[in-house]
Chains A and B, each alone.
Chain A
Amino acid sequence: MTMIRGEHLYKVFGPQARKAVDLFEEGWTRDEVKEQTGALGAVIDASIDVAEGELFVVMGLSGSGKSTLVRMINRLHDPTSGRVEIDGVDATALDGKELRELRAGKVSMVFQRFALFPHMTILDNAAWGLETQHVDREEREEKARKALATVGLDGWEANYASELSGGMQQRVGLARALATEADILLMDEPFSALDPLIKRDMQSLLIELQSELRKTIIFITHDLNEAMRLGDRIAVMKDGRIEQTGEPDEILSNPATDYVAEFVRDVDRSRVLTAANAVQDPLVTLSPDTQPRAAMVQMRDHEAAELFVTKADRTLVGAVRDDDVAEAAKRGDRTIADILHHDYGQASEDTPLGHTLLDAARYTLPLAVVGDDGKLRGVIPRVTLLSALANQDVLEEEGDPESNGNGPPDAAELVAQAAHDGQPVASDGQPHMRGEASTETETTEEGAHHG
């Protein structure tokens, strides 16, 4: 169900605002209109549609109009043209009193620089939205205490904002917004002023709260990784216009304009893309009942040194190596069931690709993507994994961007990416590519097999 709908919203600052809107509708650009009328189009023909319980991210650089767009929803800015509908009510038509009721009860807001009241206690700050609704002191303090406890700030009620750290201050800002029990939360770059570790904590807090409260949230950010982490859907804004609206992986893998493509170039794909984005059907799988000789034929036909082994219902049971199969055939084994090994990486469909890198580096087999039921959903060959992540830029910070993406990625890149992702690199420090010699452990094991 649609909770917030903005239709063809315009916000023009300066003289001749109405005329500027007409010009925009005729297709003039922002600069042309500025030159002609002197008016600045902060938001130009923006339409959004946010479902109940959705976390909708508006992303753009400063000056892209994202703050202005969001302020039109609770009418801190009145739209120059267009319509805002909140829960079926035309918010653009509300008079002063109705508007105050909307802000106090239905839509609350969190600000970039916290905007706490420095002369009030934390408790009074959190109770502000209730005070404006004339809730009596006892009730509003109780609700404010509850909201403060929700964000982990119980015990700080009597303090002042200046005595709290930035992260804690923004928790107060969040508590102030939650205390009114509004259905809609507008968050204007709420975590941009925080340092990275605190920022991550706050994002986690928000995700946790959102899974419980299911508010309808519009979240502004200029941080693409934050947008990708939090957003159910993302709208990318540029120069007052919405360039694209879509789910995070849609924005990432299918950017609508050059600008969006440029914007998402720097995103850390390893966190956003999951195994489901790169999975493909396995070349061929064997059954545990397959005879060694039949297995050898299969492997030869597909030029595969190793193959996965699944039961008839696709439950993954293991994998076999060509030399083991050859040994078994020589010994006259009836099936390959006894020579299965488990030297391969497994992931579920929602595992971020970044978490699969170490396994990809460690094993020669492709990564097995397995569902909760233990069935093989598909595989991710290493080349597929790297090209999904790379998309020509995964290691751009390593230096020359021209050299990335063309040509096969090498092991050093893998190590770098694994390290970048905060995961330990294999202890020998040298994960190897397909076709090269295996690690020492594997060699020893193979030796044992041969023996």
Chain B
Amino acid sequence: MAEEALSLPRVPIGDGVDAAVDFLRTELSGFFNAVQTVFGASVDAMEWLITLPPPLLFAAIAGLIGWRVRSWQFGAFAVVAFGVVDSMNLWDETMATLALILIATVLAVIISLPVGILAARSDAVSTVVRPILDFMQTLPVLVYLIPAVLLLGIGTPGGLAATLIFALPPGVRLTELGIRTVDSEVVEAAEAFGSSRNRTLLRVQMPLALPAIMQGINQIIMLALSMVVVAGFIGAGGLGNEVVRSISRVEVGTGFEAGLAVVILAIFLDRLTSAVGQPTRKKSKQAA
């Protein structure tokens, strides 16, 4: 009895969430149907585009990009790595995953850049956005995977939505951080010569925040990749499906091959995006 007297009355948070999801499903079904269609179509289109060249040509193109952006060693790695993927008979799955990641990244950047910029300009926005990002990043994935399925259905759209929720926060955070940490005297100098806020943003703050923003995009891609397997649980396709299937059948070898393909994609995309983030001009040498 004493225990009961001490315990607080139950606050029905869960019931509220249930009601909210139900409400969204019934009242906003049109909207979610549209989102579902757009998500599915854009990933399909991307997949079609990147499977246009045959695997070996794709590997060659990846090698060329790697060489131009980073180094010839990296280019060689890309050729060999994509060759290995093809030889493991995982080409279509890998391309499906790549398509999902690319679309997730594009969407995440489209959302996180403006939000990050607004948060950098306004402390109020920043104060509101920060806990939302914390929430998105720390809520266990499976908890929002199910509502995503309920709202967007099984398959790619649900997987894409879950990936977005998980991968978005670092894009916003690093954009805000990058812009806020631009030397305030440099920003002041821009303004002291009559620059408008938008010009200052585009010509001074964004270019100087670019390394941080690129790091954010890099993080988005890495987190999106780590969501691939989870999204496989709801049939998002690609390597995730492969991993889930082989694990459930205890086919350790096939599972490892799919995992290796994920790692190869991860290394390629990580090195590529981190190289783009570096300023191209030669580093400062302090003149005497």
Contact = CB atoms under 8 A, between A and B. Distances in A.
A62 interface: no
Interface stretch (A113-121, A249-257, A265-273): A113-121
Contacts of B281: 160
A301 to B, nearest CB: 65
Given A119-B279, A160-B281, A101 B194 contact: yes
B190 A111 contact: no
Given A100-B194, A105-B194, A115-B185, A162 B284 contact: yes
B287 A132 contact: no
Contacts of A162: 283-286
A104 B183 CA distance: 21
A109 interface: yes
A115 B188 contact: yes
A190 to B, nearest CB: 12
Nearest to A182: B193
A104 B199 CA distance: 13
B194 A104 contact: yes
Given A119-B207, A133-B194, A165 B287 contact: yes
Interface in A131-180: 131-133, 160, 162-165, 168, 176, 180
Nearest to B197: A96
A128 interface: yes
Nearest to B204: A117
Interface residues of B, number: 25
B106 interface: no
Contact of A103 (B185, B193, B288): B193
A118 B210 CA distance: 13
B125 interface: no
Contact of B287 (A112, A129, A164): A164
A128 B185 CA distance: 15
Nearest to A164: B287
Contact of A108 (B183, B192, B285): B192
Nearest to B183: A115
Contacts of B185: 111-113, 115
A132 B188 CA distance: 14
Contacts of B195: 100, 128, 132
Contact of A115 (B189, B199, B285): B189
Contacts of B284: 160, 162-163
Q: Main secondary structure on chain A at its contact with chain B?
A: mixed
Interface string A281-295: 000000000000000
Contact of A117 (B186, B192, B283, B286): B186
Nearest to A161: B284
A346 interface: no
A76 interface: yes
Contacts of A164: 287
A108 B189 contact: no
B196 A117 contact: no
A297 B196 CA distance: 82
A299 B25 CA distance: 117
Interface in A260-318: none
B193 A104 contact: yes
B251 interface: no
A131 B283 CA distance: 26
A74 interface: yes
Nearest to A163: B287
Contacts of B76: none
B197 to A, nearest CB: 9
A102 interface: yes
B191 interface: yes
B192 A103 contact: yes
B80 interface: no
A76 B187 CA distance: 11
Contacts of B199: 132
Contact of B189 (A105, A109, A131): A109
Of listed B186, B189, B286, residue having the most chain A CB within 10 A: B189
Contacts of A132: 193-196, 199
B151 to A, nearest CB: 43
B264 to A, nearest CB: 34
A310 to B, nearest CB: 55
B208 interface: yes
6 contacts: A111-B192, A115-B185, A117-B190, A119-B207, A132-B199, A162-B283
Interface of B: 183, 185-186, 188-196, 199, 203-204, 207-208, 279, 281, 283-288
The 9 A-B pairs of least Cβ separation, nearest first, read A104-B194, A162-B284, A115-B189, A103-B194, A129-B193, A100-B194, A109-B192, A115-B185, A132-B194
Given A104-B193, A128-B190, 16 more contacts: A74-B192, A103-B191, A103-B194, A108-B192, A108-B193, A118-B208, A119-B279, A128-B195, A129-B193, A132-B195, A132-B199, A133-B194, A160-B281, A162-B284, A163-B284, A186-B192
